[in-house]
Structure 1
Amino acid sequence: MALTLGLSLLTLPAVAHAQPAPCFDPNAPLTVEEQRLGDRLTPTGPAVGPELVRLAGFEDDVSRFTTRLCEPMSLSQALYHAAGRGTELWQAAVRRAQSPQTWDAYDDRPLYWARLLATKALRQWQPRGWQLDAATRARLVDVFDRTSRGVEEVRFADGVRRIAVTGFDPFQLSGTSVRRSNPAGASALRLDGKVVDTPSGPAVVQAAVLPVLWGSFDQGIVERFYGSALRSTPDALVTVSQGRPGQFDVERWAGRWRGGFPDNNDVPVTGVVPDAAGWPQPAVEFIETTLPHQRMVDAGTTPFPVRYNREFCEWPPGTVPGTGTPSCRTDEPTPGAASAAGSGGDYLSNESMYRANRLRLGLSATTTAGGHLHTPVLGQPADPAALTDAAFEHDRRAIVDQVVALVSVI
């Protein structure tokens, strides 16, 4: 189904753009991500993010959240409101992803943009009768963000195997790329709470969607999700992200290095992956996957080929990391060498694998397997003024269904 942007926003402007004074300060600073809420594909078309929220049926969720902010409430009530509505948004997105929908159920983008509409409201909120300082505002935003990602929803059932999975938000959204989707995030929504049949019996999956933000990783969002999961001794941790065109990659190595590519707030970071406060984290340069990679390669899932990727890059012993040219190979890291890139590169996908498995090692979770799966790259609709088309939806569905099949092999 091809859909161009000739659609009206109907009731959404009241939610996103006409927040009544004095509840919201339209001059309050927003993040780069939140500023993209106004991006359009054509000069006269609607803003992409809010339109996707409307098409998916999430405008009422956003409206309930923002409307309540304009009513009298204390700080404790505001925290409760942020946590409750964030959880409800996550649960609504999971239900939507796992049931037939008028708008494609596999579309991960509405959750992303609905979350940003809510965090924008929190950044601009002016509570009645009391002052909201910067630290408390940041706390409110963080609570909503985490709960609307499934990070706080790790609840494993008894009597079955357990698998914890994370995907990612859309990224590289500047300009007309604002309509990008991420099949890794769509896979997490599709998998959360599901019971899949594995070679060792049924397994329940708990999933979350990670931000494409260095700062959130610094604050420990990966450790928070997988730390909660590891309390239940899961059988496997699987970080998933979007990788290279036309194939899946089971990555052999995660590396302790950030290569500097900008995140969704256009912030570049280069250097050693930092620790997250409060978690046991051994200082290792490379961490090798313990997922059943050969079984995943040999399983015959379709339609994309599955490859075991052995590549890695290192700063040779005696050199200064970040200077010169790293050595890239497919054998084994050199003892004493510093990581320059894991098999999955040096961006947040590699770091999600590194952080999740550094924590696994730090907690001595010896019976838990861990590793990373890169999906094929999902393109964009052919018409530059379209939010979707049949080929785009077909490709996303094929990638997501194969992720589910590969998780079922573990």
Structure 2
Amino acid sequence: MHHDTTPEEDRADRPEPRRILARSGFGAAEPLFAADLRTSTDPEQAREVVASHASRLWTEATRTGTDPVDDRPLYWARLVLRARLRTWTPSFDLSEEDHSELLHLFESTSRGIADLHFPPGERWIRLVVTGFDPFHLDTDVECSNPSGAAALDLNGWTFPVGERTAVVRTAVFPVRWADFDAGVVEEALAGQYGAADAVLTLSRGRPERFDLEVWNGVWRGGGRDNLGVSRTERAPVPGAGAPEWTRSSLPLERILGAATGRHEVVANTEVSEVPAAGGGPVPRSEGPSPGSAARRGGGGDYLSNEVAYRNTLLRDRAGSQIPAGHVHLPGTARPEEHTAALAQVRAIVAAVAGESP
């Protein structure tokens, strides 16, 4: 049973990622993981090893007090450990299916997805916030994603809202079409409708501004992901009758009033559509026209738009009224550049919490 590493995992062997890992202390994770895998004697023990090491990565990455907040050590360490797990030859029989399950367990646990649980009781306002991995690594292998940094910064944050206390749980999504095809967004967020009071997805956007994306489209426009894969099609969301468009239910006015700071915050209603009458795609500044087909949501036609679409579709299918929607953060690329934006993200999250029922 031989498994080749992925192009994304191979990138982690370059000198720059290795330097990031060595400087951060996350480089120590690999030999410890390898040693524990080697001593595993059956599938159950292997599961425990994978879960505990993945959980440790997430716990270490979300510990408060790191300044600036850096999402890159978690990203690169996850890939290094996953490559190790992918190419591991156990001393016992392990089926293909069990091996795939171990890889999935490692992903969901090291991304915070397995940890999106809230304390019970009426006094809590429960907020889910998600970010993304770094991407465009072929042009800038040392780049950071401010939305991933925000997720690490916010996890476990509590703050008072009137008589109640808001509590934030976060997760970080991969920049890979295949994981979206396989349902990573639904795995993370479907169970939150009925549990959470708001679900906010974040990603890295344009320079110097926040975009509150009002409309999300079902169309994928061909962008290349972290595996070098491109997709141009309707997103293959589960269930029948997926609409062309979904809409944010975030309290836009409240956010615009509260989240002032260094960066401008804009409610973005622009889309690109094929009108009901046909023809080529046309831009519309005020959102889609009736019967149109999506070509770009406010957040474009890449995975940012798609996480926004899938999340708000889950909300609609659950018949939920809670605030849900997407925010594009200013497009900074280094941890020390994110600081002003991260402060404004906290203001945005607090404004969303104030709107909760």
Instruction: Decide: shared fold, TM above 0.5.
Output: yes
Q: Distance in 2 between matches of 1:59 and 1:85?
A: 13
User: Which position in structure 2 is the counterpart of 1:377?
Assistant: 331
Q: Distance in 2 between matches of 1:281 and 1:120?
A: 36
Three-state SS of the structure 2 residue aligned to 1:261 is strand
Q: Shift in Å at residue 134 of structure 1?
A: 3.8
User: Which position in structure 2 is the counterpart of 1:364?
Assistant: 319
> Does the 8 A contact of 2:127 with 2:169 survive in 1?
yes
Q: Does 2:181 align with 1:239?
A: no
In structure 2, the gaps of 5 or more residues are 353-357
Larger radius of gyration: 1
Are the structure 2 counterparts of residues 64 and 231 from structure 1 closer, same or farther at C-alpha, using a change threshold of 3 Å? farther
Q: Given residue 171 of structure 1, which amino acid in structure 2 is its aligned partner? A: F
Deviations 1:224-247 (A, max 9, x none): 111232241x22110000010110
What does 1:145-224 align with in structure 2 at a 5 Å threshold? 145-157=107-119, 158=121, 159-175=123-139, 177-198=140-161, 201-224=164-187
> Does the 8 A contact of 1:196 with 1:203 survive in 2?
yes
> Does the 8 A contact of 1:256 with 1:284 survive in 2?
yes
Q: Distance in 2 between matches of 1:393 and 1:215?
A: 28
> Does the 8 A contact of 2:126 with 2:167 survive in 1?
yes
Q: Distance in 1 between matches of 2:158 and 2:88?
A: 40
Deviations 1:226-282 (A, max 9, x none): 1232241x2211000001011001011011110110000000001111124xxx675
User: Which position in structure 1 is the counterpart of 2:45?
Assistant: 77
Are the structure 2 counterparts of residues 198 and 256 from structure 1 closer, same or farther at C-alpha, using a change threshold of 3 Å? farther
TM-score (norm 1): 0.81
Q: Distance in 2 between matches of 1:283 and 1:82?
A: 36
Percent same amino acid at aligned positions? 38
Q: Shift in Å at residue 200 of structure 1?
A: 8.4
What does 1:55-66 align with in structure 2 at a 5 Å threshold? 55-66=23-34
Are the structure 2 counterparts of residues 318 and 138 from structure 1 closer, same or farther at C-alpha, using a change threshold of 3 Å? farther
> Does the 8 A contact of 2:255 with 2:351 survive in 1?
yes
> Does the 8 A contact of 1:326 with 1:340 survive in 2?
yes
> Does the 8 A contact of 1:169 with 1:209 survive in 2?
yes
Deviations 1:37-83 (A, max 9, x none): 122xxxxxxx1222212222223333221111111421122122212
Q: Distance in 2 between matches of 1:264 and 1:296?
A: 32
Three-state SS of the structure 1 residue aligned to 2:201 is strand
Are the structure 2 counterparts of residues 360 and 171 from structure 1 closer, same or farther at C-alpha, using a change threshold of 3 Å? same
Q: Distance in 2 between matches of 1:259 and 1:162?
A: 33
Are the structure 2 counterparts of residues 282 and 94 from structure 1 closer, same or farther at C-alpha, using a change threshold of 3 Å? farther
> Does the 8 A contact of 2:146 with 2:335 survive in 1?
no
Three-state SS of the structure 2 residue aligned to 1:334 is coil
> Does the 8 A contact of 2:259 with 2:348 survive in 1?
no
Q: Does 2:346 align with 1:400?
A: no
Q: Distance in 2 between matches of 1:333 and 1:198?
A: 35
In structure 1, the gaps of 5 or more residues are 1-24, 40-46, 380-391
Q: Given residue 187 of structure 2, which amino acid in structure 1 is its aligned partner? A: R
Q: Distance in 2 between matches of 1:404 and 1:187?
A: 9
Q: Does 2:67 align with 1:112?
A: no
User: Which position in structure 1 is the counterpart of 2:283?
Assistant: 328
Q: Distance in 2 between matches of 1:199 and 1:348?
A: 35
Q: Does 2:265 align with 1:306?
A: yes
TM-score (norm 2): 0.93
What does 1:269-280 align with in structure 2 at a 5 Å threshold? 269-276=231-238
Q: Does 2:65 align with 1:99?
A: yes
Three-state SS of the structure 2 residue aligned to 1:178 is coil
The number of equivalent residue pairs is 350
Q: Distance in 1 between matches of 2:101 and 2:45?
A: 13
Q: Distance in 1 between matches of 2:143 and 2:197?
A: 32
Three-state SS of the structure 2 residue aligned to 1:167 is strand
Q: Distance in 2 between matches of 1:185 and 1:127?
A: 33
Are the structure 2 counterparts of residues 200 and 359 from structure 1 closer, same or farther at C-alpha, using a change threshold of 3 Å? farther
